[in-house]
């Protein structure tokens, strides 16, 4: 609020005039004397705007202030005196007498706190005369001032005004100083003009709290030269405008078989920093993972944190759900087979199936990783085949099959007299017997050789314990022939499923065999004789 003090002085002179000249001037022509404001200054005016015979204005009064050394000057060429009276406490009138002498008439205004009009009585001590100058200075009128003056002045409440912002917002991290805030203010008085340099701080609860969020106040004051004071209450709003910052683990790879707890495991791996607050809680905002934890894919979980000023931060955590479950095999782990049986690697694989928790039946994806069985299926021993299957997530599972090949043909030993012992559980065919005799060089079978069975008592008695004679006739294209006889001894199976062949004394040929052999020899001899004749 702009404040200033001005004085309206009304001078009423009660006197009798002694006219020296013929100019008729009445006392009532001077009954209104006052201070006026014009062009931001204050003027002393006596009389009114009427033409009073060349003596309209009283220009012959000089006005002093303060210690009487500050002379405003005598302005005789204009209608008014122009002193700057803002803040004056005392007024002095310099009065001229008829002889041109001067004396100083002092008027004490004193100090008045309240608005109002106050009279001051000034009594002349001696008879003097005021000089009234006409504007042309050609006429001088003497006014007898041996009277009592009554001086009135009026004090009005007009204060200076402080302009500027009444509310400031400052950051708690970099608060403004009081000087910075004050520099944004200005003060103006209608008498003193710009008095911004007079602004002072009355109260300040901001400086001590400038690093604390809240609303604080600074009261500024300014006083003009007349003692009028204005105040301005500035609110300083200290604010935290910086968001908290969440940090921590932001990426997880998780098995589809296990649920990752987003409210404990993931949340506990996060922290938050804030420029002002401490121990701020982090909360779960959105979660599209938990409901899909067992479904392969990538999911986002979002967390958020608010500080006490309402600033907030969000943080995304990515969880990739993977299929890390291996497929499973179904099928035999061990296979036992006889050496005489046929079992291929395809036969073994056909007994296996493979399933995956995500891809389903993937039996068609089974492959052979290692195989040390193929080509050895007829040889007694233990062999392994490793099968492998892979799902679409590249999870690999293996399955090992162990094959034990058993020797189901008992060992057969030959004696010099063609004696064969065989277990009753083993059946030898006629060709088996011929093959055994050939393998032991008892008979020689080539492309030009034919073998004919003459007798076979073993046939039909394969499982009956006993000794059975078998005779073969071996002939060649060269005309040679031979008769081979052997005995097949069928014995009871032993506990270990093996057959032992032991040598025996030479078997005495039956008479008919000898006869037959003689006939064959005779025929052979005759045949050879005929061939030689030809």
- Residue carrying structure tokens 């046929």: 342
Sorted by where each begins, the domain ranges of the chain are 3-158, 160-239, 245-322, 328-406, 419-526
Distance (Å, whole) CA 152 – CA 158: 19
Nearest alpha carbon to residue 134 among 193, 70, 60 = 60
Q: How far is CA 379 from CA 21, 133, 338, 382, 404, in A?
A: 170, 158, 9, 9, 10
Distance (Å, whole) CA 64 – CA 335: 136
Element (H, E) at 531: helix 511-533
DSSP 448-515: TEEEEEEEETTTT-TTS-EEEEEEEEEEETTS-EEEEEEEEEEEPPPTTS-------PPPPPPHHHHH
Are 61 and 24 within 8 A, CB to CB? no
Q: Tell which CATH architecture fits domain 245-322.
A: Sandwich (2.60)
Write out the two tokens for 208.
């001590």
| Per-residue pLDDT in tens (0 to 9) along the chain, 534 residues | 332 223 333 332 222 222 222 222 232 333 334 344 444 333 333 333 333 333 223 333 333 333 333 333 332 322 323 333 334 334 444 443 434 444 444 444 444 455 544 444 444 444 333 333 323 233 333 333 443 344 444 444 567 888 888 889 999 999 999 999 999 999 998 777 899 999 999 999 999 999 999 999 999 999 887 778 899 999 999 999 999 999 999 999 999 999 999 999 999 999 999 999 999 999 999 999 999 999 999 999 999 999 999 999 999 999 999 999 999 999 999 999 998 788 899 999 999 999 999 899 999 999 999 999 998 888 889 999 999 999 999 999 999 999 999 976 555 444 445 578 888 888 888 888 888 887 777 777 766 678 888 888 888 888 888 888 888 888 876 667 788 888 888 887 764 444 444 444 444 555 656 666 677 667 767 766 776 666
Q: Beta 158-159 vs 148-155: how paired, if at all?
A: unpaired
> Residue 214: which region, alpha, beta or left (left: phi > 0; alpha: psi -120 to 50)?
left
User: Does the fold of domain 328-406 match that of domain 160-239?
Assistant: yes
Q: Tell which CATH architecture fits domain 328-406.
A: Sandwich (2.60)
Distance (Å, whole) CA 354 – CA 408: 33
Distance (Å, whole) CA 136 – CA 142: 16
Nearest alpha carbon to residue 246 among 303, 208, 196 = 303
Nearest alpha carbon to residue 185 among 140, 142, 222 = 222
Cβ density class 136-160: b for 16+ within 10 Å, e for less: eeebbbbbbbebebebbbbbeebbb
Residue 154: strand pairing partners: 117
Are 479 and 531 within 8 A, CB to CB? yes
Distance (Å, whole) CA 404 – CA 383: 6
- CA angle (265, 271, 272) in 5-degree steps: 145
- Residue 440: Cβ-neighbour burial (10 angstroms; 0-12, 13-18, 19+): middle
Task: Decide which of 2.30.40.10, 3.40.1190.20, 2.60.40.10, 1.10.510.10 is the CATH code for 160-239.
Answer: 2.60.40.10
């Amino acid at each position: 609020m702009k404040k200033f003090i001005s004085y309206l002085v009304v001078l009423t002179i009660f006197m009798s005039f002694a006219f020296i000249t013929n100019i008729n001037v009445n006392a009532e022509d001077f009954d209104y004397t006052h201070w006026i404001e014009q062009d931001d200054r204050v003027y002393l005016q006596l009389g009114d705007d009427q033409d009073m015979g060349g003596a309209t204005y009283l220009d012959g009064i000089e006005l002093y202030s303060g210690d009487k050394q500050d002379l405003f000057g005598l302005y005789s060429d204009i209608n008014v005196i122009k002193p700057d009276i803002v803040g004056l406490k005392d007024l002095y009138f310099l009065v001229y007498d008829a002889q041109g002498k001067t004396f100083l008439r002092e008027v004490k205004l004193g100090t008045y706190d309240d608005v109002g009009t106050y009279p001051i009585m000034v009594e002349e001590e001696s008879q003097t005369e005021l000089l009234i100058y006409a504007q042309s200075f050609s006429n001088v009128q003497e006014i007898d001032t041996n009277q009592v003056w009554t001086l009135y002045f009026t004090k009005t409440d007009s204060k200076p005004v402080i302009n500027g912002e009444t509310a400031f917002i400052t950051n708690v991290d970099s608060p403004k100083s009081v000087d910075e805030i004050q520099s944004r203010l200005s003060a103006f008085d209608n008498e003193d003009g710009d008095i911004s340099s007079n602004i002072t701080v009355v109260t300040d609860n901001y400086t001590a709290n400038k690093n604390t969020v809240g609303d604080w106040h600074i009261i500024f004051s300014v006083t003009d030269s007349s003692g009028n004071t204005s105040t301005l209450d500035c609110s300083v709003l200290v604010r935290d405008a910086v968001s908290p910052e969440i940090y921590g683990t932001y990426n997880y790879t998780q098995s589809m078989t296990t649920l990752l707890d987003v409210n404990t495991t993931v949340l506990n791996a996060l922290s938050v920093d804030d420029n002002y607050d401490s121990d701020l809680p982090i909360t779960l905002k959105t979660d599209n993972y938990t409901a899909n934890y067992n479904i392969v894919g990538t999911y986002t979980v979002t967390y958020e944190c608010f500080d006490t000023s309402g600033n907030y931060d969000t943080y995304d955590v990515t969880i990739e759900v993977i299929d890390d479950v291996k497929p499973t095999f179904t099928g035999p782990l061990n296979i036992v087979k006889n050496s005489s049986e046929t079992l291929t690697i395809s036969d073994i694989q056909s007994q296996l199936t493979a399933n995956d928790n995500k891809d389903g039946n993937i039996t068609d994806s089974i492959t052979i990783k290692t195989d040390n069985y193929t080509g050895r299926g007829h040889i007694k021993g233990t062999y392994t085949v490793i099968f492998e299957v892979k799902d679409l997530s590249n999870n690999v599972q293996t399955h090992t099959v162990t094959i034990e090949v058993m020797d189901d043909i008992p060992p057969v030993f030959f004696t010099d007299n063609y004696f064969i012992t065989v277990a009753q559980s083993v059946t030898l065919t006629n060709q088996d017997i011929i093959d055994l005799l050939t393998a032991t060089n008892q008979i020689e079978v080539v492309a030009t050789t034919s073998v004919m069975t003459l007798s076979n008592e073993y046939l039909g008695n394969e499982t009956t314990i006993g000794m059975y004679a078998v005779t073969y006739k071996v002939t060649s294209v060269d005309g040679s022939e031979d008769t081979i006889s052997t005995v097949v001894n069928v014995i009871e199976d032993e506990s270990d499923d093996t057959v032992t062949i032991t040598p025996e004394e030479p078997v005495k040929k039956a008479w008919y065999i000898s006869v037959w052999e003689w006939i064959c020899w005779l025929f052979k001899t005759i045949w050879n004789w005929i061939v030689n004749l030809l």
